[in-house]
Amino acid sequence: MRTTPKALAAAFALLVSPALAADFTLSSPEIANGTQLPVKQVFNGFGCSGENRSPALTWSGAPAETKSFALTVYDPDAPTGSGWWHWIVYNIPADVSALPAGAGDPDGKQLPPGARQGRTDFGAAGYGGACPPTGDPAHRYVFTVHALKVEKLDLPADPSAALVGFMLHGTEIARTSLTAYYAR
């Protein structure tokens, strides 16, 4: 029996791609999937006048083999050629299934013990809210919780979003997302 390159590529993709587990879900009492972000989650600066507060988030149904979690918030519609990273949290212990509102403060005091924040595209750690250019169509803000097969990501202090993303993709076993929108 001969295996085609297309069949090999499909088999490889199944091996390296994280599962989008149907039981693994992410929700928030402040934002709903497919709705506009409230002013609480909008940046305060660059012409935006929001509260720049990270929303409360809760997840459930992660695979049993999960050893830690990471959270990313990403705007794929930012006019940069590479999107915009709004929040990165990693090394969230496996027994944690929620982050409170305001956990994205730069001081990280409301994060679970051991959890760390990476540098966003605003240039610092901590949650940076939505602030698309005036007149742009609504941007998507994708909140994703990643279930990881390692207890900790081996990262230097103050890692960039790209470096955290690289490490996530090598250790992720499942993910769940919710997407909100914002335009001004």
Domain edges within the chain: 19-182
Where would I find the H helices in 1-149? Answer: 5-16
pLDDT of 9 strictly over 50: no
Tell me the pLDDT tens digit for each residue of 144-162. 999 999 999 999 989 999 9
- pLDDT value of position 12: 38
pLDDT of 128 strictly over 60: yes
19-182 — its CATH code? 3.90.280.10
Structural tokens at position 152: 């900790």
Residues in Cβ contact with 17 at an 8 Å cutoff, skipping those fewer than 6 apart: none
Cα first-last separation, the chain? 57
pTM of the entire structure?
Answer: 0.88
CA angle at residue 24 from 174 to 165, to 5 degrees? Answer: 35
- pLDDT value of position 36: 96
- When pLDDT is cut at 50, 70 and 90, the band that residue 14 belongs to is very low
Neighbours of 91 (CB within 10 A): 21
Block residue for tokens 């012409």? 47
